[in-house]
Amino acid sequence: MGSVVQWKCIYTNACNMGNNQEELEAIVQWENYDIVAITEAWCDDSCNWTAAMDGYKLFRRDRQGRRGGVVALYVRECFECLELNDGDNRVECLWVRIRGKANKADIMVGVCYRPPNQGEEADEIFYK
């Protein structure tokens, strides 16, 4: 059996963290996470959850047509990755393909947020 690749990941809803962006960045660096997924990264002008983080590539997708709602992924810089854009901005989803190393398969990583007031049409798109 071949070696198993393990990824260290963390997810947070930024609105639940308030202005604790610096605390999250310290935790990410201390714990050495490979991937950081964030939803509702917009709080207010006092925090910017979509700012660059040392050692990570930032991918983000802003909510279209109304205020708020950003989903973001930070992926460690050492990984070769590509954002996948399905072209549908009606849902808050972001997908990144990370190239596998040494003949390992690529991996898809995503972060999605479903607002509580989302309509049925958007739900159908979201589930696809």
Q: What is the pLDDT of residues 46-80, one digit of tens each?
A: 555 556 788 999 998 876 655 556 788 999 999 99
User: Is 80 exceeded by the pLDDT of residue 108?
Assistant: yes
More confident site: 23 or 47: 23
- Assess if residue 1 is contained within a domain: no
- Assess if residue 93 is contained within a domain: yes
The amino acid at 87: G
Locate 38 and state its tokens.
Answer: 């964030």
Number of domains in the chain: 1
- Assess if residue 115 is contained within a domain: yes
Residue of 43, 39, 64, 48 lying closest to 114 (CA atoms): 39
C-alpha to C-alpha distance for 86 and 117, rounded to whole angstroms? 22
- Assess if residue 2 is contained within a domain: no
| pLDDT of amino acid 85 | 77
Locate 1 and state its tokens.
Answer: 């059996």
List the domain range (segments joined by +) for residue 28: 9-127
pTM: 0.79
Find the CATH number of the domain harbouring 58.
3.60.10.10
C-alpha to C-alpha distance for 48 and 12, rounded to whole angstroms? 14
- Assess if residue 3 is contained within a domain: no
Percentage above 90 pLDDT, the chain: 23
- Assess if residue 60 is contained within a domain: yes
Contact 58, 77 (CB under 8 A): no
